[in-house]
Structures are given as structure tokens and as C-alpha cells.
Amino acid sequence: MKAGESEVADLLAVLAELEPLEVVVGLPTTLAGKDGPAAEKVRERARRLADATPIPLRMVDERLSTVEASRRLREGGRRAKEQRSVIDAAAAAAILEHALSIERSRGEPPGALLLPHGAA
């Protein structure tokens, strides 16, 4: 889904249709684990969504998810040129798999819970 004026409304429509228990948002931190400009933008966009829905959002580290997705696609026989149209979806799947793996191994939800402003 593209960023833009209708981004939150578009996401809310998807959430209403799918009725998820939680939303996992990939946080593109630097390799050193710090927030850069991309992570700041994602935090801002996630904040707008969190403020518009009662569904909990979790910010999960997505370092190297695109690299992992590209590797998997390559192993599946897709050349780099063929990956362009599916790399974001594959990276999203890798982020979710990583989050679920963390939850299974630690017995607790992954990442940081992002609550709407004013929620306790």
C-alpha cells in the first residue's frame, strides 16, 4: 500500500475487512539498531494508524528483511529483475515470520507495543 493522503483510511478499510488481533509494523532501524530517517517516518506513520484504530500495533525490527527476502526469492529461482514486483511482500512475510519466531521462542509478543495517544 502506498503512502499518501488516504493511507490511514486505506489501511483502516483493510483492517476492518481482515479483523486482525494485532498489526505488526516493520521498523527499519540501522544495522547498529538506531533509528534513522526511514525509521522515523515509519514511526510517524504507525502513530497515525495507532491513533485511528483500537487494534494493537507492534513495532518489530526489520533489519535485513529485504536481504532475506531477496535471498529466498533467488533460491526459489527468481532473478533480481523478477524480484522487483514481489520483494516488498516477501520482506513483509519475512518480518512476520521473524516476529512469530520471537514470540514462540520467548513466550512473549515481539517488539514494542504502540498504543494510541491517551491509552494507558
pLDDT at residue 8 greater than cutoff 90: yes
pLDDT of residue 117: 72
pLDDT at residue 98 greater than cutoff 80: yes
pLDDT of residue 30: 84
pLDDT at residue 62 greater than cutoff 90: no
CA distances from 91 to 5, 42, 98, 117 (A): 24, 15, 10, 29
**Average pLDDT of the segment spanning 85-113:** 89
How far apart are the C-alpha atoms of 104 and 83, rounded to whole Å? 30
Question: Does residue 60 form part of some domain?
Answer: yes
* pLDDT tier, 31 (very low <50, low <70, confident <90, very high otherwise): confident
How far apart are the C-alpha atoms of 28 and 86, rounded to whole Å? 18
Q: Which domain holds residue 27?
A: 22-114
Question: Model confidence over 69-92: pLDDT tens digits?
Answer: 778 888 888 877 777 778 888 888
* pLDDT tier, 120 (very low <50, low <70, confident <90, very high otherwise): low
Question: Does residue 76 form part of some domain?
Answer: yes
Pairing of strands 23-27, 57-61: parallel
Question: Does residue 119 form part of some domain?
Answer: no
pLDDT at residue 1 greater than cutoff 70: no
pLDDT of residue 17: 97
Q: Structural domain tally of the chain?
A: 1
| C-beta separation of 7 from 25 below 8 A | no
Sign of the Cα torsion 88, 41, 103, 18 reads negative
| C-beta separation of 25 from 99 below 8 A | no
Side chain identity at residue 31, one-letter code: L
Question: Does residue 27 form part of some domain?
Answer: yes
**Average pLDDT of the segment spanning 30-50:** 91
Mean predicted lDDT score pLDDT of the chain:
87
Question: Does residue 51 form part of some domain?
Answer: yes
